Structure 1
Amino acid sequence: MALSKENAKKLKLLWEDSNKIHWIESFIKIVNKDTITVPFILTQEQKEFVDGLEKFNIVLKSRQLGLSVVTVALSIRQCIVYPNSACLLVSHDQKSCNAIFDKLKQQFNSLPKWLKPEEVANNRQEIKLKNGSKITCVCAGNKDVGRGDTLHLVHLSEFAFWKMPDKQLNSITQALAPEGKLIIESTANGLNYFHDLYFQAKNHENSYKSFFFNWINGSSLFQKDYIKAVELYKIRNGKLLEDSELEDEELMLKDLGATMEQLMWRRLKVASSGLEAFHQEYPSTDLEAFISTGSNVFSNKRIDEVEKAIIHNKTTYIPKDNIKDLPQLLQLHYGRSFFIWKIPKVGEKYYIGCDLSEGVGQDYSVIEVFNKDGEQVAEFYNNKLKPYEMAEIINAIGHYYNKGLITVEKASGGHSAIERLRYEYHYMNMSKYKSYDNFNRLVWQVGFDTNNKTKSLIINDFVELFETGQLKINSRRLLQEMKIYEINENGRMGASGTGHDDTVMATALAIVSIKNPFYYGF
């Protein structure tokens, strides 16, 4: 039967990339948890994922949110809407690879007969179509992954569990078509390459777009699990969970949107697998997802508590329009590199730590500002500004915060900045330390000399103040760096993997200012 003009128009609209979701919901069926074949109606998380995809994407998620299933559907659409497409679905082990191929076959076979292209081959975990397209399912570690193909859609599943992921990713990326899409998707697995890639993406330090999906918002896929959990909880405890019984973390989760049914389900999960395992597989925040090995310098539990408090209190930096007296130089960077949580009060003392780089796009130059009560009031970070430019920024921030006491680390770009602050800007309120010259004479040096001994001392001061509740941190970037700050097997302190620790060091230097007995007025 010929299509009516109206139906032909609708079909034409469905073929547009802006209507991917409608295409999937119109033509693809899936098998639900009750083993019934039903139209594939996407959840809110799946829709957000599909609508937000860019060329390079990295997804940190809670378990079983159906992102792999929707990626299979996207690959089928790609191969039908765009003939001669090649899609690659890579799993971390053979069992998962088989499961993905089974989903692929089921979804492909559910297509309407008039839409489904004729198959050339359907074996060895690959579907080849007569229109020139193909979808291949393989395991990570296969040396031939992506070899010889130009790939239009690539999905790398459970990437955090891959061996040598960086080498494999580089090989696959080289095969990606100019208009292709790459999706890295995984639950967390400690502080590894996936962790580094995800947080670099979140901080706009690489070309990936980051997504995070927590277990609370993915409730639509678990309704029956929650119902069973409520029944079991009532049998075990004789009653349902009440608000008055909620622990601090549960209260924060409730503020994030968790229902009482979800919290009862969570209690049963925690009882069977432990709290750390739950945090890793069912995270409520991205920081919580990455469970470390115990070599971390800072308490992960305390970091998670502080981050959840920031979310609960909706702590955010002050909008630029609400700050009336900000110097022009700082206005240029506000909202991108410079952030203020509290404007300076007349007559109050402020303490500033500066950890500087050479400004060549690698390590960051960071300035952290704290008040006398130990609250973080401002933060500046940038990896493109040269030391002489940072000296001008430090001077502006120092004057803005009532000529606060500045401690600059002397390494890297710090030497140059100290000289400019001292002799060009005549900034006098700076930390000093004692040393002895070649003639054994006592000399006062400006700045802070970081070595193995002094670094350990200032970091331990930071740890003590943080874990005893004497610091109020408002920056989630700082918390993120604290999460990956560790002692390696050689006893050296620093960020794990390719992560940064510049905000950690700047904060430790601000604490040096706080503990300094001198405050030089000028």
Structure 2
Amino acid sequence: MSLSIENAKKLKYLWQDGHEIKWIGAFIKIVNKDTKLVPFIFTPEQKEFVEGLNKFNIVLKSRQLGLSVCTVALSIRQCIVYPNSCCLLVSHDQKSCNTIFDKLKQQFNSLPDWLRPRTIANNRQEIKMTNGSKITCVCAGNKDVARGDTLHLVHLSEFAFWKMSKKQLNSITQALAPDGKLIIESTANGLNYFHDLYFQAKNNENSYKSFFFNWIDGSTLFKKDYVNSVEIYKAKHNNKILTKEELDDEELELTRLGASMEQLMWRRLKVASSGLDAFHQEYPSTDIEAFINTGANIFNNKRITDVQRSIPKNNYIKKDNLIDLPVLLKKYYGKSFFIYKTKKVGERYFIGVDMSEGVGQDFSVCEVFSQDGEQVAEFYNNKIKPYQMAEIIDTLGHYYNKAILNVERASGGNSVIERLRYTFKYQRIYKQKLFDENNKMITRLGFDTNAKSKGIIINDFVENFDTGAIQINSVRLLQEMQVFEISDSGSMGAVSGQHDDSVMATALALYIIKHGINYKW
């Protein structure tokens, strides 16, 4: 086939990395919801997804946003633009695997004859091409997944529903080519390994890039569903549609996120048939709302979600606006240290400190609260040794008007307390009154956390949160509150694999606020 110079330039342009969307739009057709074969035109969410891909990616989403279809198209492009490529599409069950392979065949067969490679095999859920490329569709748990292959594009669908997901992911990751891409994509399924990976990615604690797509912004694929829902709603309500005056608090918040009345009528019908918790999980408006905890959660999940909705993205004060920040704190600002409210002259501040050993596991956390119960700043890091944290805490305390410190004595806390008092001469450290074996009252610096005292400070925290007596400005803290539970034995803490360091540091700060602790300097 001879090409004009103009067409040759267009093809060269389409073959370049960064033009994946235009390549797919030019050559691939898909079957739309009306069963018609049409060019692949990307929705805004699909464009954001494809244009934002890194090497490692994790996607939390609402149902049926068409991201799997995107990944099928990307795998076809990979195999044609780069011969000898190997792409792997892994589904959580056989039914889904069959569906993905059907979409793969449909898209592959829609290619122009001159572009579509000849195939060596096109069965058993694998397409092998004469150019050396292949695309394989398999189920999670298959023993031969990734065995012997170097993978250039991998899509793991509904990863939250996989069994032994961590072990399988490790195996697949080892087979990924240096320039390959890995996409983990799923709706939520409670607090599991997918939950952990997603929020670690969101908090920049692993190598993954996080994406979240809610049901409100994904409206373009559901237009007919919304129209039908309006008619059903009108039939049930004397031919009247939903008005703003009838909306509850959550629905009003959804309108602020962009939901239309048509979407809210559709939502009401979904909630009526499956329940609110199920809707939150499958059609979340925020990422924290997606992960429904059915266990004995101590904090009110609905209130957590409501508070998080009210927190703007990147709500901490920019470094350039903090002219008096000490050099030591400036070093960590925007990474481990965040200020949400400017400090005030003459204001009293309280800092709760939960220490770790700084070996990359649990976090050392400082939560700073004003005398009015507002969280004004936080510091967290899991790689700073206790002796180094002591200097940071001393600097933080002085910066916040010589704040009252409440340091838990466990882990690295004892050494931090000793260095604060005797090396840095810090005067305002909480003194806990205790009774020794002779029933004589003694005082010790710092807070001793045991089953009884932990229950007291956590229950005070819960009461303050439920009654609106405190203001939380940290999404990280809210995420920890969501996974903080009480076990059958009565012990309190984060669910397995999660952290509760920010929760404990906050509880320690609120305890000294409640008891009006103050010491002369």
CA distance in 1, matches of 2:270, 2:436: 63
CA distance in 2, matches of 1:42, 1:16: 19
Residue aligned with 2:18, SS: helix
Label 1:27 to 1:376 Cα distance change in 2 as closer, same or farther (>3 A). Answer: same
Paired amino acid for 1:116: R
CA distance in 1, matches of 2:182, 2:516: 54
More moved, 82-91 vs 235-244: 235-244
CA distance in 1, matches of 2:323, 2:515: 31
Q: Which residue of 2 aligns with 1:296?
A: 297
Paired amino acid for 1:167: K
Q: Which residue of 1 aligns with 2:195?
A: 195
CA distance in 2, matches of 1:235, 1:438: 75
Q: Which residue of 2 aligns with 1:181?
A: 181
Instruction: Check whether the contact 1:315–1:474 (CA below 8 A) recurs between aligned residues.
Output: no
Q: Which residue of 2 aligns with 1:309?
A: 310
Q: Tell me the alpha carbon deviations over residues 135-185 of structure 1, each in whole angstroms, 9 at most, x when there is no partner.
A: 111111111111111111111100101111111111111111111111110
CA distance in 1, matches of 2:205, 2:331: 20
Paired amino acid for 2:33: K
Q: Which residue of 2 aligns with 1:425?
A: 424
Residue aligned with 1:403, SS: coil
Paired amino acid for 1:416: S
Superposed, 1:51-66 pairs within 5 Å as 51-66=51-66
CA distance in 1, matches of 2:357, 2:137: 45
Superposed, 1:367-406 pairs within 5 Å as 367-406=366-405
Residue aligned with 1:22, SS: helix
Residue aligned with 1:212, SS: strand
Instruction: Check whether the contact 1:431–1:516 (CA below 8 A) recurs between aligned residues.
Output: no
Q: Which residue of 1 aligns with 2:359?
A: 360
CA distance in 1, matches of 2:111, 2:296: 51
Paired amino acid for 1:347: G
Residue aligned with 1:509, SS: helix
Q: Which residue of 1 aligns with 2:218?
A: 218
Q: Tell me the alpha carbon deviations over residues 373-426 of structure 1, each in whole angstroms, 9 at most, x when there is no partner.
A: 211111111112111121111111111211111100111111111011111111
Superposed, 1:122-201 pairs within 5 Å as 122-201=122-201
Superposed, 1:270-349 pairs within 5 Å as 270-311=271-312, 316-349=315-348
Alpha-carbon distance, 1:219 to partner? 0.7
Q: Which residue of 2 aligns with 1:478?
A: 477
Residue aligned with 2:311, SS: helix
Paired amino acid for 1:400: Y
Gaps of 5+ in 1: none
Residue aligned with 1:297, SS: coil
Q: Tell me the alpha carbon deviations over residues 251-306 of structure 1, each in whole angstroms, 9 at most, x when there is no partner.
A: 11111111111111111111111111000000010000000113111111110111
Q: Which residue of 2 aligns with 1:84?
A: 84
Alpha-carbon distance, 1:488 to partner? 3.3
Instruction: Check whether the contact 1:196–1:497 (CA below 8 A) recurs between aligned residues.
Output: no
Alpha-carbon distance, 1:512 to partner? 1.6
Does 1:205 pair with 2:205?
Answer: yes
Instruction: Check whether the contact 1:226–1:262 (CA below 8 A) recurs between aligned residues.
Output: yes
Q: Which residue of 2 aligns with 1:252?
A: 253
CA distance in 1, matches of 2:338, 2:146: 43
After TM superposition, the score normalised by the length of structure 2 is 0.98
CA distance in 2, matches of 1:484, 1:160: 16
Alpha-carbon distance, 1:315 to partner? 7.7
Residue aligned with 1:49, SS: helix
CA distance in 2, matches of 1:497, 1:157: 24
Instruction: Check whether the contact 1:31–1:38 (CA below 8 A) recurs between aligned residues.
Output: yes
Does 1:97 pair with 2:97?
Answer: yes
Q: Which residue of 1 aligns with 2:30?
A: 30
Alpha-carbon distance, 1:440 to partner? 4.9
CA distance in 1, matches of 2:66, 2:488: 38
Instruction: Check whether the contact 1:152–1:176 (CA below 8 A) recurs between aligned residues.
Output: yes
Paired amino acid for 1:266: R
Paired amino acid for 2:17: D
Alpha-carbon distance, 1:438 to partner? 5.7
Q: Which residue of 1 aligns with 2:42?
A: 42
- The CA RMSD over aligned residues, in Å, is 1.3
Instruction: Check whether the contact 1:353–1:406 (CA below 8 A) recurs between aligned residues.
Output: yes
Q: Which residue of 2 aligns with 1:497?
A: 496
CA distance in 1, matches of 2:468, 2:141: 46
Q: Tell me the alpha carbon deviations over residues 469-503 of structure 1, each in whole angstroms, 9 at most, x when there is no partner.
A: 11110101100111111223443322223221111
Instruction: Check whether the contact 1:354–1:368 (CA below 8 A) recurs between aligned residues.
Output: yes
CA distance in 2, matches of 1:115, 1:497: 50
CA distance in 1, matches of 2:38, 2:271: 33
Instruction: Check whether the contact 1:495–1:501 (CA below 8 A) recurs between aligned residues.
Output: yes
Residue aligned with 2:303, SS: helix
Paired amino acid for 1:251: L
Q: Tell me the alpha carbon deviations over residues 114-142 of structure 1, each in whole angstroms, 9 at most, x when there is no partner.
A: 00000101111111111111111111111
Alpha-carbon distance, 1:441 to partner? 3.6
Alpha-carbon distance, 1:442 to partner? 2.5
Q: Which residue of 2 aligns with 1:13?
A: 13
Q: How many residues align?
A: 520
Instruction: Check whether the contact 1:398–1:405 (CA below 8 A) recurs between aligned residues.
Output: yes
Query: Stretches of 4+ moved more than 3 A in 1?
Result: 436-441, 488-491
Paired amino acid for 2:415: S
CA distance in 2, matches of 1:141, 1:340: 45
Q: Which residue of 2 aligns with 1:241?
A: 242
Alpha-carbon distance, 1:439 to partner? 5.5
Gaps of 5+ in 2: none
CA distance in 2, matches of 1:54, 1:320: 28
Paired amino acid for 1:509: L
Paired amino acid for 1:6: E
Q: Which residue of 2 aligns with 1:69?
A: 69
Paired amino acid for 2:370: N
Q: Tell me the alpha carbon deviations over residues 350-394 of structure 1, each in whole angstroms, 9 at most, x when there is no partner.
A: 111001111122211111011122111111111121111211111
CA distance in 1, matches of 2:218, 2:166: 30
CA distance in 1, matches of 2:513, 2:314: 24
CA distance in 1, matches of 2:473, 2:235: 42
Q: Which residue of 2 aligns with 1:466?
A: 465
Q: Tell me the alpha carbon deviations over residues 170-209 of structure 1, each in whole angstroms, 9 at most, x when there is no partner.
A: 1111111111111110000000111111111111111111
Paired amino acid for 1:353: G
Paired amino acid for 2:361: Q
CA distance in 2, matches of 1:490, 1:176: 43
Paired amino acid for 1:442: M
Q: Tell me the alpha carbon deviations over residues 288-334 of structure 1, each in whole angstroms, 9 at most, x when there is no partner.
A: 000011311111111011111224xx681112222222222212222
